[in-house]
Amino acid sequence: MNNIRKKSKEPFIRTVKRAERSKIEIMNLRIIAFILALAAGGLFIIFIGYNPLELYGTIVSGAFRSKMAIQATIKIMIPLLMSSLGVILAFKMRFWNIGAEGQIIMGAVFSSYFALFHSNWPHFILLAAMFLAGFIGGGLWGLIPAYFKTKFNTNETLFTLMLNYIALHVISYLRDGPWKDPGSSGFPKIARFTANAQLDKILGIQFGWIIGLFLVAVIFIYMIYTKHGYEIGVVGESQSTARYAGMNVKKVVIRTMLLSGGICGITGVIQSAGSDMTLASSVAGGVGFTAIIVAWLANLNPIGILLVSFLFSVLEKGSSVMQSTYGLSTYSAAVLQGIILFFILGSEFFIRYKFVMGSSRHRGGAKA
């Protein structure tokens, strides 16, 4: 009788973890998802009265149609690449760092102090101080949830998420209070950085792209070939196993979150001193949340993040060109991007899981 009641409570459709697929199967599934994404996006484009081939062509050409367009695409890519590299360190450890936004902001806040109040320092010394301060600011913002996680086993997802909003209010306080630009004529804003506190350009783009490429190589080596990277993976698989192997789990968590937050903090320096030329509440601009998607699509691989962040940047830049060329609303471009991402993310689900209908128990066993 109890078996019958238990059986009746089972859902008709449920998800179960799938056996590991081969690389060819995974590649085929992702290609199918991409084709379906283009088809579904094409239907949406037809419904709003446009030619899908023309709009898709505009998206691709819009990201590469001129030297200025290419520079703009790379400019979009830089913070996405770096913040994604930051979060994969935490994610590999199964520490769900949803606080990249706040860590980017605090990195920008810490570095902006030197940009605003020590702008007369020699240029390279000033930039070095700004990057160091940015790393410390983001790292400290990452250490807070790491400490509470190791000490009190708090929920890091909620903790890091809430810290994002606290960081945002820190900028609001500084903008309206002690760091308010006296020459703003009553408008609340922080003064523009002097040229001495701005990042230099290489090939027409602020040199953050070089730092991003350097970090791709460094983090790849760190995660694959170093003892610390190995410890991150073991802690992510099982903390009990890590302790049995003699690893100090608390130390690994704190060290990794310092690095994760610190890299996001450097992203804040690049955004404030390389793109915005000031400290603004939009310094993160949602890139910390997009980095989560990029990290998972890249399967937490630094090389994969380089590719995925580039494709995201092409889509972002191309969509803005499409929007202006055809007079589409912002929402139409956002819906098209959402449709494409929905299918691509869906493929990742079906790589790892499958739907099962009915009971998976053998009926003979149930009767027995």
pLDDT at 339 over 90: no
What is the per-residue pLDDT for 8?
A: 52
Mean per-residue pLDDT, 259-264: 97
Please indicate whether residue 357 or residue 320 has the higher confidence score (pLDDT). 320
What one-character DSSP code corresponds to residue 196? G
pLDDT at 367 over 80: no
In degrees rounded to 5, what are phi and psi of residue 14? Answer: -145, 165
When pLDDT is cut at 50, 70 and 90, the band that residue 1 belongs to is: low
pLDDT, tens only, 97-143: 999 999 999 999 999 999 999 999 999 999 999 999 999 999 999 99
Whole-number percent of the chain with pLDDT over 90: 61
Please indicate whether residue 18 or residue 273 has the higher confidence score (pLDDT). 273
pLDDT at 3 over 60: no
pLDDT, tens only, 42-81: 898 898 888 999 988 988 888 898 899 999 999 999 999 9
Report how far residue 367's alpha carbon sits from residue 3's, in angstroms, rounded to the nearest whole number.
Answer: 9
Locate 227 and state its tokens. Answer: 């003892």
Closest CA to 265 of 102, 124, 126: 102
Report how far residue 60's alpha carbon sits from residue 50's, in angstroms, rounded to the nearest whole number.
Answer: 16
pLDDT at 92 over 50: yes
Mean per-residue pLDDT, 324-350: 80
Closest CA to 290 of 79, 94, 37, 34: 79
Angle between helix 208-225 and 302-326 (nearest 10): 150
146: phi > 0 → left, psi -120 to 50 → alpha, else beta; which?
A: alpha
When pLDDT is cut at 50, 70 and 90, the band that residue 276 belongs to is: very high
pLDDT, tens only, 167-199: 999 999 999 989 998 887 778 899 999 999 999
What is the per-residue pLDDT for 364?
A: 43
What is the per-residue pLDDT for 362?
A: 46
Q: What angle do CA 107, 110, 115 make, to 5 degrees?
A: 110
Mean per-residue pLDDT, 316-329: 85
C-alpha distance across the termini of the chain, in Å:
12
Mean pLDDT of the chain: 88
pLDDT at 366 over 50: no
Mean per-residue pLDDT, 219-246: 94
Locate 27 and state its tokens. Answer: 């590649």
pLDDT, tens only, 112-123: 999 999 999 999
